[in-house]
Amino acid sequence: MSQNRITTLLQQDKKLLLAYYMPEFPVIGATLPVLEALEESGADIIELGMPYSDPIGDGPVIQDAAHTAIRNGVNLRTLLELVRRARQGEGCRKITAPILLMGYCNPIFSYGGDCFLYDALEAGVDGLLIPDLPPEEAEDFLERAKGFGLSMTFLVSPVTPPDRIELIDSLSTDFSYCLAVNATTGTAKLSDASTGAAIDDYLKRVRQHTKKKFVVGFGIRERAQVERMWSLADGAVVGTALLQHIATASTPEESARLAAEFWKTLR
């Protein structure tokens, strides 16, 4: 088994910029062109949403995008087929960036845990982030995912105590994902001075209690915020702002153009 793309990438000494994208948003056929546009514009890791009807960790923008994706025919099987096509270069230039799937337990368990892990690996997925899978209850699934060579990422929040940060760091295969604030995706306000000071203290605390790398997401919308997160962490994740920028597109080609246009302002 070849080394996981995420593991390989994180061996490099560079600050990461991760893109979150909901497949087949805003129109059917947008996924492969948008993936190509994001990779060409400098996305280091592409985080693909697994659309779910009740995404408890997501704000209105990603909730609406998930519902659009479901209406446009996306489920786990069609999503994995899109990843396979991206890896094979069917309908786009061959995508080589690491792909991390972000979604919730129910669809995965309904699919069948081991079946899903096998099919994800075969399609070309590199890792998983499952917000409603508590680290304390993840041992069995984590070991199964590792057996398939898939990287698992767990979440840290601003109220996570030091001992739990250390637990999450030990369980995350390659890196942890820090929520910038206690809020759903896209609803955080990072420009307030008091919020900024709190984030600084929080991420310094994470650094003190981790051995692996960590990235920061939720509320990051522009280049200055990306650079600030790079000064405190190993990477920044941008999702809601990307989806908002491409939401008005009426064709796959326009979706890709708008995605590239926005991503270049960050990178």
What is the C-alpha separation between 69 and 58, in angstroms, rounded? 15
What is the structure's pLDDT at 53? 85
Please check whether residue 134 lies inside any domain of the structure.
yes
Cα 194–chain centre separation: 27
**Residues 231-261: tens digit of each pLDDT:** 999 999 999 999 999 999 999 999 999 999 9
What is the structure's pLDDT at 196? 77
Total domains in the chain come to: 1
Please check whether residue 44 lies inside any domain of the structure.
yes
User: Which residue is catalytic, options 39, 44, 47, 169?
Assistant: 47
Give yes or no for residue 108 having a pLDDT over 70.
Answer: yes
97 and 39 in contact (C-beta within 8 Å)?
Answer: yes
130 and 156 in contact (C-beta within 8 Å)?
Answer: no
Please check whether residue 2 lies inside any domain of the structure.
no
Known catalytic residue: 13? no
199 and 236 in contact (C-beta within 8 Å)?
Answer: no
Domain that holds residue 161: 15-266
**What's the distance, Cα to Cα, between the start and end of the chain in Å?**
32
pTM: 0.94
Please check whether residue 9 lies inside any domain of the structure.
no
188 and 181 in contact (C-beta within 8 Å)?
Answer: yes
Please check whether residue 26 lies inside any domain of the structure.
yes
154 and 168 in contact (C-beta within 8 Å)?
Answer: yes
What is the structure's pLDDT at 194? 47
Please check whether residue 5 lies inside any domain of the structure.
no
Instruction: Identify the three-state secondary structure at position 152.
Output: strand
What is the C-alpha separation between 117 and 111, in angstroms, rounded? 10
Other Cβ atoms closer than 10 A to 102: 25
**Residues 109-150: tens digit of each pLDDT:** 999 999 999 999 999 999 999 999 999 999 999 999 999 999
**Residues 158-216: tens digit of each pLDDT:** 999 999 999 999 999 999 999 997 755 555 556 554 467 899 999 999 999 999 999 99
Residue 5 is given by DSSP the state: H
Instruction: Identify the three-state secondary structure at position 3.
Output: coil
What is the C-alpha separation between 258 and 249, in angstroms, rounded? 8
Other Cβ atoms closer than 10 A to 133: 19
Looking up residue 182, the CATH number of its domain turns out to be 3.20.20.70
Query: What integer best gives the mean pLDDT of the chain?
Result: 94
Please check whether residue 227 lies inside any domain of the structure.
yes
pLDDT band at 221 (very low <50, low <70, confident <90, very high): very high
User: Which residue is catalytic, options 58, 119, 169, 234?
Assistant: 58
What is the C-alpha separation between 251 and 31, in angstroms, rounded? 11
Please check whether residue 10 lies inside any domain of the structure.
no
What is the structure's pLDDT at 213? 98
What is the C-alpha separation between 73 and 67, in angstroms, rounded? 10
Known catalytic residue: 47? yes
